[in-house]
Amino acid sequence: MENVSKSIMENDRVRVLQVLFKPNDKTVMHSHPDHVVYVLKGGKLRLTYSGKTEVLDLKTGQAIFLKAQSHEAENTGKTDVDLLVVELK
């Protein structure tokens, strides 16, 4: 995930990342604990995990909670997808 993210802050309770997917950017399989995603700039993101694939149509200003998981992610749209990810420890 290092190719699309940068750490903004971390302490013993949370880790905050800014994640920017350019069109066609992909991540390799990686893991997150329970986390909240705030969408700074929306678009289409395909998640592949546990043998399933899901396409998220993310809207600017949307916040979603995701349980702990391992996944791959890919921007399948034509615009950047910019996210703020807050991982709970």
pLDDT at 2: 78
Supply the DSSP string of 2-62, one letter for each residue: TTTEEEEEE-SSEEEEEEEEPTT-B--SEEE-SEEEEEEE-EEEEEEETTEEEEEEE-TT-
Residue type for 39, please? V
pTM > 0.95: yes or no: no
Q: Which positions of the chain have pLDDT values less than 50?
A: none
Instruction: Express each pLDDT in 64-85 by its tens digit.
Output: 999 999 999 999 999 999 999 9
In this structure, are strands 81-88 and 35-41 parallel, antiparallel, or unpaired?
A: antiparallel
Q: How many folded domains does the chain comprise?
A: 1
Q: Supply the CATH number for residue 33's domain.
A: 2.60.120.10
Residue 68: which domain range? 5-88
Percent of the chain scoring above 90 in pLDDT: 94
